[in-house]
Amino acid sequence: MTTLSPYKAEFLKAAIDGGVLKFGNFELKSKRISPYFFNAGDFYRADLLRAISTAYAKAIIEARDQTGLEFDVIFGPAYKGIPLATSTTDKLAALDPDAYSQICYSFDRKEAKDHGEGGNIVGAPLKGKRVLIVDDVITAGTAKRDAIAKIQKEGGTVVGIVVALDRMEKLPAPDGDDSKPMPSAIGEIRKEYNIPIFAILTLDDIIAGMGSFATPDDIRRIEEYRAKYKATD
């Protein structure tokens, strides 16, 4: 059985204890009925915010150590990405001040401001900067493509994306036949933009860590869901 690294196990426990990761029957945008649901918007309590920012920071440090990931600005797409970007920037500087005390954060407005300083971006300027996007999940990929386009329009270069959860789930088939092999949204964006995408947790991680808190029925249902909808990449 796979053993989760300590930071992943701590994050999974916080998500369960805080009601961020729930088990049951949940209808997704794709109309699939999922046996679990993860909502990073529920990390609004101080201890939970600390848990998720710590997990993002440790995932980023791990990615740096394993792949050489380097960046100047952390970008959080509005709205859920805004607290994630700001809190992760602070946590990185606390965990590794030598490497990260000078990094910056930015986020976008849903609508451009037409007075004062104006523009679409709040925080650090992106021109000429290496930008790391942080967000909760990638579902269809539309929001991430919009964020990448905004960053590129401002003159920044996207060097990676970090998400809280990779559902490892294939995109719906155009003809509605879910038995067909299909890629995931993460796989499509990774291939389309040639950028790395990192996740704090994957569905495999959730299943690996479920034994200590989930019922056998929950575990069985999630394993069946994974088998039915797992992506080709």
**Chain length of the chain:** 233
* List of domains in the chain: 6-229 (3.40.50.2020)
Question: What pLDDT does 113 receive?
Answer: 56
- pLDDT reported for residue 114: 53
User: Any residues with CB less than 8 A from the CB of 146 and at least 6 apart, and which?
Assistant: 77
Which position among 22, 113, 180, 191 bears the catalytic label? 113
Say which of 29, 31, 115, 127 is annotated catalytic.
Answer: 115
pLDDT (tens place) for every residue of the chain, 233 residues total: 468 899 999 999 999 999 999 999 999 888 889 999 999 889 999 999 999 999 999 999 999 999 999 999 999 999 889 999 999 999 999 999 999 999 999 999 876 555 445 578 999 999 999 999 999 888 878 889 999 999 999 999 999 999 999 999 999 888 878 888 999 999 999 999 999 999 999 999 999 998 777 888 989 999 999 999 999 88
Q: What is the pLDDT of residue 112?
A: 58
SS (H, E, C) 20-48: CEEEEEEECCCCCEEEEEECHHHCCCHHH
Residue 111: what pLDDT?
A: 67
Whether residue 115 lies in the annotated active site: yes
Q: Is 193 exposed, middle or buried (0-12, 13-18, 19+ CB in 10 A)?
A: middle
Tell me the residue type at 224: E
For the chain, the distance separating the N- and C-terminal CA atoms, rounded to the nearest angstrom, is: 22
Residue pair 126/154 in contact (Cβ under 8 Å)? The answer is yes
